[in-house]
Amino acid sequence: MAAQGVFATIYRIAALVPRGKIATYGQIARIAGLQNGARVVGWAMMACGGAVPAHRVIKADGGLCKDHEWEHIQRQLLLEEGVLFCKNGKVDMAQCQWNPTEDALSEL
C-alpha cells in the first residue's frame, strides 16, 4: 500500500475510525508508518475535503486545532457522534480514543 504516498494510507486509517471514537494526528501518523509525521496527517486532513471523517482526528492533548472555524464544526460533529468532552473543553480521550485493532490495520 502507500504506493500513492502516505497520503492514501492516512485516509485509509482515518476512515477506519468508528463513529463515536477519535484518534490523534500522531497516532494515525504512527500507524501510517511515520514516527513524527503528525503534520503530514494534519495537512492531509486539511486537504481531505470531506473524503474522510477528519473531525475524528484531534491533537494529542485531546484538543482540536488551535484557532480555526473548523474547531467549532469538529466539536459539534463529535458531540453528535457521542464523543464525550471534558470540562476543559477537550475530548475525553480516555473513553473515546480509537484503539486500532490488528485486523483493521491488516486491511491497509
Partner DNA sequence: GGGCTGACTGACG
Partner DNA sequence: ACGTCAGCCAGCC
Instruction: Give contact residues for DNA (rule: CB under 7 A).
Output: 5-7, 24-26, 34-43, 45-48, 54-55, 57-61, 65-66, 68, 70, 74
Phi-psi region of 49 (alpha: psi -120 to 50; beta: other; left: phi over 0): left
Alpha-carbon gap, residue 58 to 55, rounded angstroms:
7
Nearer to DNA, 80 or 103 (CB): 80
Q: Minimum CB separation from DNA for residue 73, in Å?
A: 9
Q: Minimum CB separation from DNA for residue 61, in Å?
A: 6
Beta-strand relationship, 57-58 and 23-24: parallel
Nearer to DNA, 62 or 103 (CB): 62
Q: Minimum CB separation from DNA for residue 25, in Å?
A: 4
In three-state secondary structure terms, 21 is: coil
Nearer to DNA, 59 or 85 (CB): 59
| Residue 26 CB neighbours (<10 A) | 18
Look-up of cell digits 504506493: 3
